[in-house]
Amino acid sequence: MRQFTFLVAILFSPIIYGQYGCTDSQANNFNASATINDGSCLYNPTNYSLNLVANLDDTLSENSGLVWDAGKLYTFNDSGSGAEVYEIMPNGTIIRTIHIANSTNVDWEAMTSDSSYFYLGDFGNNNGNRTDLCIYRLLKSEVSNNTLDTVVAEKMNFRWADQIDFTSAYNANNFDCEAFFATEDSLFLFSKNWVDLKTKCYALPNYWTDTLNATYTSQFDVDGLITDACRDTANDRTYLLGYKNNGSNFYTSFIWCLWDHASNLIFSGNKRRIEIGNVLSVSQTEGIIVSDNGTGYVSAEKVVNIITIPAKLFTFNFTTYFEEINGLEPLSSQAPFILSNQFISEGIIELAINIPFSKVYIEDLQGKRIMEIDKQHTQLPANYFHGVYFLKIDHNTYPIILWH
């Protein structure tokens, strides 16, 4: 008998039967009876004024990302600039220039870190036709060593797993990227979708050789262009920075706050958008990071148009947006479905959807609809599936890997 095995691409918590709904007491649709957050929370439009730290030196006029380590900020300039990283004080003063050997700044767009390494994302892709996407890995101990002015990078090449068309389309494609963050074992990348103003989340390990496919995991309608991302590990929150062109290059900037989601399904929990100002007040926002003391930083590049707006460094504190106003403790999300292997000997997998839904589909990597599901419990024929698929529950997408 042929053995069939399945693997869900993410780790789920055990199913807890309870009432699903919005568990955030700050939301408009807060449900006091809900015990499991289903990601449905809705919020009033929110505006916040960033605190200006300093106008940055023209050396950083094209700064395009931020990372924090040991009381200092690190940044860099994007496409066409040198292969250099700048160490700056929290007041915006440049204190050191670090040359990155074994690298080329084709279009560096983001920087992140884990406990041992810095990562530089050379994945800017305005035309959507790049086949040389890569991430550079730098030893933290070398970058922070004040006696070194040059650090050697390791180059890790990758491609988008779902891209099949490489026709050049300047600022008119969905395969540009300027944002990612690291965990201790993975990298999560967020696309800059010029066409539909959504963002797609992709996953990679934090180290590989040869050329690897970045696996598409889910997407979210951010209504704008995402320019950076960061993870506040102390508070288990994700921030996406971006801007929207409201006509005639008059940008307005925003930060999406994402939290209380299931495992690494970044878009499955609470999603709150904070408007942080227009181009006249914040320039073009490009970098975001949260320090180890909880202070958030945003950087912006220089704008030269009808008027000139200098590069800037700001701080922010969103603590009040996460306080439970009714004294409730936030609840962790549970998996919205479970795949059971108890019928494996019969060549059948049981799928149980444990949240209310309108439509559920199984799609392949190209987005082709394989199966429509209309019941809470469905038996899937094992021999019909082989490879990577996506379970689409209404507007949320979850990766599953099935093989036999």
Q: In the 3-class helix/strand/coil scheme, how is 312-328 assigned residue by residue?
A: EEEEECCHHHHCCCCCC
Residue at token pair 């991302």: 229
Cα(120)–Cα(85) distance, integer angstroms:
9
- 44-100 pLDDT, tens digit each: 999 999 999 999 999 999 999 999 999 999 999 998 789 999 999 999 999 999 999
Q: Which distant-in-sequence residues (6+ apart) come within 8 Å of 384 by Cβ?
A: none
What pLDDT is recorded for position 115?
96
What pLDDT is recorded for position 5?
38
Q: Which helix (H) or strand (E) holds 16?
A: none
What pLDDT is recorded for position 6?
40
Is the CA virtual torsion 41, 42, 44, 45 positive or negative? positive
| Beta strands per DSSP E along 25-133 | 36-37, 46-47, 51-55, 67-69, 72-75, 84-88, 94-101, 110-113, 117-122
What pLDDT is recorded for position 150?
97
Confidence of residue 367 (pLDDT cuts 50, 70, 90): confident
What pLDDT is recorded for position 4?
38
Cα dist. 187→144, 212, 384 in Å? Answer: 21, 12, 31
Residue at token pair 């040991």: 70
Residue at token pair 């990766």: 399
> How is residue 363 written in tokens?
């799609």
